[in-house]
Each structure stands twice: as C-alpha cells, then as structure tokens.
Amino acid sequence: MMVVTLEEMKQYLRVDYEDDDQLITGFIASAEQLCRDILRADETADLEKDETVKTAVMYAAAYFYEHREEADHHDLALTIRSLLFGSRKEAF
C-alpha cells in the first residue's frame, strides 16, 4: 500500500493522461523510500501515521517528475529532511 495513490499524484501534478503512469508510480515509490530513509522507518505503514509524510512524499515525487532531467537529489533530501524533522526517529 502506498502513502500516495497514483490518482492523487496525477491530480497533484495535473496529469490527465496514462502515458506516464508507470514513471509516476516509480517516482512515488522512490519518494516513499527517501522519506522512510530520512525518518529511519522500516515500513510504509510507519509513513501512514503522519500527515506530513504524505505531503513530503507528494513533494518529492513531484520534484522527481518535474526535474527528471536535472534533479538535485542532495537539495531535495535536505528539503524533505526539513519537512520531516519533527517526525524523525533518533536512531534505527
């Protein structure tokens, strides 16, 4: 189960065609993994407990989609870390 559905993400991106569905689904999965890593969470279920995580996943997936040619992953990670700082576990 994903924190953000493909339909939610497509609406957020204002994408109304199916050509990029697989790409967007991959970006959602990557965004969730990034958030799990930053939060030091083991499972997607841990992400569903906090509404801020959904915002962070949507932001990261949109960033991956919009900047797929020239993404600055370090800058993205810092932004997501700032968004999720209050929810981050102290250690694994």
pLDDT at position 63 is: 96
Kindly tell me if the per-residue pLDDT of 89 is higher than 70.
Answer: no
Alpha-carbon gap, residue 54 to 35, rounded angstroms: 9
The per-residue pLDDT for range 29-81, each reduced to its tens digit, is: 999 999 999 888 877 666 777 788 999 999 999 999 999 899 899 999 999 99
Identify which has the larger pLDDT, 79 or 86: 79
For the CA atoms of 61, 17, 11, 79, what is the dihedral angle to 10 degrees? Answer: 20
Q: What's residue 48's pLDDT? A: 75
Q: How far apart are CA 92 and CA 81, in angstroms?
A: 16
Domain spans, the chain? 6-86
What pLDDT, on the 0 to 100 scale, is given for residue 46?
Answer: 66
Distance CA 73, CA 55 (A): 17
pLDDT for residue 91: 63
